[in-house]
Amino acid sequence: RNLKRHMECRRDIGTLNFRFLSIYESLIPEEEEKAKQKQLLTLLEKLVSKEWPKAQLFLYGSCANSFGVSKSDIDVCLAINDADIDKSEFLLKLADILQSDNLQNVQALTRARVPIVKLKDPVTGISCDICINNVLAVVNTKLLRDYAQIDVRLRQLAFIVKHWAKSRGVNETYQGTLSSYAYVLMCIHFLQQRKPAILPCLQGMETTYSVTVDDIQCAFFDQVERLRHFGSHNKESIAQLVWAFFNYWAYHHDYANDVISIRTGSIISKREKDWTRRKGNDRHLICIEDPFETSHDLGRVVDKFSIKVLREEFERAAYIMQYDPDPCVALFEPY
Ligand code: ATP
Ligand code: MG
């Protein structure tokens, strides 16, 4: 009811929607860019299969989950069915092969948390990270992509939130703020919670897709073309949702007790997950459960300094959405 009252006060709601939708449209990658990404993937497949005929390449991350804005790098996973490969050795060899085929800036980062080879393709101008056997990321990419097909408002909201996070400097995991993946999970959870719900909980429905990866069973309903009308009882517009999203994270989320979980489509308690106190470097100051690796809190990168930064940014955004006559300027103001 508050939301409704608020939105009645904002007589410019139509203009605001129009502004958000034009920002969203301007961030969508052109078809030409998608074609170039495919072209680079085909080249990589050719080079890799010469050396490892059984290896497969998968796109993952924002170039494949439909939450990628234009000019993003691409993330590639090389899947090879060989239990005892030494990842570092493999990556060094891969880097060698790619280097000798005129790819630029080839670098093997063997000590990173997720070891990768980085490169840039001079023909398409696209940069790319290749990791080995990170199949869970390929599966969570599919889950996100499937959610995006149910209701267009998810993609709209996530583009706006990611754009805000990048502009405001709160999309930097190495500085203790959240990854793009975490922000998309926050958007999915938020739309599952609207009344009436805009998104269902795919992992709570009949299983139509199931794979087991690293002993984790990943099962969910993936016939999303059957869910196209799921959110149609909810008429909220993108401007209302952006306002309510920031309002939730600024004033209504219970940081002390709650974990958001798209796996269950609900809030679960920190106590239940044993995430109530600091363990090693994991402080659990904002808790976002990974849909498959359920012991994994995407908020674990957040420390006692960066949680303050994050919450102040949520409050700032909520304030702007409430009072600013032209919120789209201040919201995305570089920090
Ligand atoms: P951007 O547009 O910022 O590049 P992105 O969707 O590629 O966004 P990243 O946060 O770079 O987002 O993550 C890339 C992919 O890696 C995600 O889509 C997800 O599949 C996987 N991933 C990233 N972080 C995690 C994590 N902490 N746990 C599990 N999977 C993750
Ligand atoms: Mg990425």
- Residue 7's pLDDT is 58
Task: Kindly report which listed range (25-29, 194-198, 202-206, 278-282) carries the lowest average pLDDT score.
Answer: 278-282
> What is the predicted ipTM?
0.96
Give residue 95's pLDDT band: very low, low, confident or very high (50, 70, 90). very high
CB within 6 Å of ligand 1 — which residues? 60-62, 65, 67-68, 72, 75, 137, 140-141, 179-181, 290, 296, 298
Beta carbons within 10 angstroms of residue 278's beta carbon: 12
For a substitution probing ligand 1, which of 28, 37, 62 has the most ligand atoms within 8 Å of its CB? 62
Residue 59 CA: distances (Å) to CA of 79, 132, 202 = 11, 12, 22
- pLDDT above 60 (res 4): no
Report strand pairing: 258-261 vs 56-60. Answer: unpaired
Whose atoms come closest to the Cα of 69: which ligand? 1
For a substitution probing ligand 1, which of 180, 286, 298 has the most ligand atoms within 8 Å of its CB? 180
- Residues with Cβ < 8 Å from 124, sequence gap 6 or more? 36, 37, 39, 40
- The residue length of the chain stands at 335
Q: What is the DSSP letter of 150?
A: H
What pLDDT, in 10s, does the model give residues 213-227?
Answer: 999 999 999 999 999
- pLDDT above 60 (res 288): yes
In the numeric block, which tokens belong to residue 133? 């056997």
Let me know: does 161 contact 313? Beta carbons within 8 Å.
Answer: no
In this structure, which residue's CA is closest to atom 27 in ligand 1? 298
Rounded Cα distance, 233 and 176, in Å? 38
In this structure, which residue's CA is closest to atom 4 in ligand 1? 62
In this structure, which residue's CA is closest to atom 15 in ligand 1? 61
Atom nearest to 63 CA in ligand 1? 7
Question: Domains (ranges, CATH) in the chain?
Answer: 2-27+150-217+226-331 (1.10.1410.10), 31-136 (3.30.460.10)
- Residue 171's pLDDT is 98
- Expressed in angstroms and rounded, the spacing between residue 11 Cα and the centre of ligand 2 is 38
Q: Sign (positive/negative) of CA torsion 46, 47, 48, 50?
A: positive
Atom nearest to 141 CA in ligand 1? 20
Beta carbons within 10 angstroms of residue 188's beta carbon: 26
- pLDDT above 90 (res 10): no
For residue 315, give the nearest of 170, 154, 163, 157 by alpha carbon: 170
- Residues with Cβ < 8 Å from 176, sequence gap 6 or more? 301, 302, 303, 305, 306, 309
Q: Sign (positive/negative) of CA torsion 254, 257, 258, 264?
A: negative
- pLDDT above 60 (res 8): no
Atom nearest to 73 CA in ligand 1? 4
In the numeric block, which tokens belong to residue 287? 């808790």
- pLDDT above 80 (res 6): no
Q: Burial, 93: exposed, middle or buried (Cβ in 10 Å; 0-12, 13-18, 19+)?
A: middle
Rounded Cα distance, 140 and 182, in Å? 12
Rounded Cα distance, 33 and 30, in Å? 5
Rounded Cα distance, 48 and 26, in Å? 35
15-20: average pLDDT: 95
For residue 160, give the nearest of 335, 299, 334, 331 by alpha carbon: 331
Four-point Cα dihedral 8, 193, 181, 150, nearest 10: -90
Whose atoms come closest to the Cα of 118: which ligand? 2
- pLDDT above 90 (res 128): yes
User: Which residues fall inside 5 Å of ion ligand 2, going by CB?
Assistant: 61-62, 75
Q: Say how far residue 208 (Cα) sits from the centre of its chain.
A: 23
Rounded Cα distance, 117 and 129, in Å? 6
pLDDT mean across residues, the chain: 95
- Expressed in angstroms and rounded, the spacing between residue 166 Cα and the centre of ligand 1 is 14
Q: What is the DSSP letter of 249?
A: I
Give residue 325's pLDDT band: very low, low, confident or very high (50, 70, 90). confident
- Expressed in angstroms and rounded, the spacing between residue 247 Cα and the centre of ligand 2 is 27
Query: Is residue 102 helix, strand or coil?
Result: coil
257-272: average pLDDT: 98
287-299: average pLDDT: 97
Rounded Cα distance, 105 and 44, in Å? 15
Let me know: does 95 contact 50? Beta carbons within 8 Å.
Answer: no
Report strand pairing: 116-120 vs 104-109. Answer: antiparallel
What pLDDT, in 10s, does the model give residues 25-65?
Answer: 999 999 999 999 999 999 999 999 999 999 999 999 999 99
